[in-house]
Amino acid sequence: MITVENLVKRYDGYTALDGLNFSVEEGDIFGFLGPNGAGKTTTIRILTAIIKADSGNVVINGHDVFKEPMAVKEIINALPESNGYYEWMTAREYLEFFSNLYGEEMSRQEIDSLLEAVGLHGKEGHLIRSYSRGMKQRLGIARALINKPKLLFLDEPTNGLDPKGRRDIHDLLMDLNRKQGTTIFLSTHLLDDVERLCNRIVIINYGKIVRAGEVKKGTIEDIFFLSTKEGML
């Protein structure tokens, strides 16, 4: 699904990504971990064709991200870490606006079922400014599902949510992965997220991969323990 080769990104002399290599298989829930400033958000922005890399290759579902960004954007979607909202819109208007940008006018029922899936049914007519943080996060996920993406990028999706909110998001993501086969690329700091959701993880630091592997019961604590001990997480 994703192949990343020798990805390099520099900002004003600072190397954010230093020859990153990894791959994500179709159907994975792929955990992308690392401390603040490790290059997680930069990687997601490159993979989602928002920014360009200085060198390297990224292929998503057979499309070169740098040469065919629009084709990539049709099959992916993402929830950025600091996703803002048009607070003067209602949830329904917000989703209608983004569905129009994908050239797909969603019916009322389709929007209703999407909002129901993220637990916002009944709130579609409320202004977004009246939403709690958790509700906004759910709306952000609904927006990210609007084009039925094959690959979904989530940057710290459970940040700032209470335990119930986190559990609801976990259930929603697992449902998406199991029922619709959506591949999920998850950037997170939280052990709980990784343990419950991910089948493979990569840990990066200073723009380089420092650990990678499958998540098996009992191994995740070791990886986290070592990474924390080495000051990486």
Q: List residues binding other proteins (CB under 8 A).
A: 45, 48, 50-52, 70, 73-74, 77-78, 80, 82-86, 88, 97-98, 100-103, 140, 143
> What's the min distance (Å) between Cβ of 80 and other proteins?
5
CA quadruple 101, 85, 53, 188: dihedral, nearest 10: -120
> What's the min distance (Å) between Cβ of 220 and other proteins?
30
Closer residue to other proteins, CB minimum distance, 77 or 227: 77
Closer residue to other proteins, CB minimum distance, 2 or 215: 2
Beta-bridge partner residues of 203: 33, 211
- Strands of 83-177 (E only): list them: 151-155
> What's the min distance (Å) between Cβ of 144 and other proteins?
8
34 Cβ contact list (under 8 Å, min separation 6): 40, 203, 204, 205, 232, 233
Closer residue to other proteins, CB minimum distance, 72 or 223: 72
> What's the min distance (Å) between Cβ of 90 and other proteins?
11
Helix (H, G, I), strand (E, B) or coil at 26: coil
Query: Max alpha carbon distance in the chain (Å)?
Result: 51
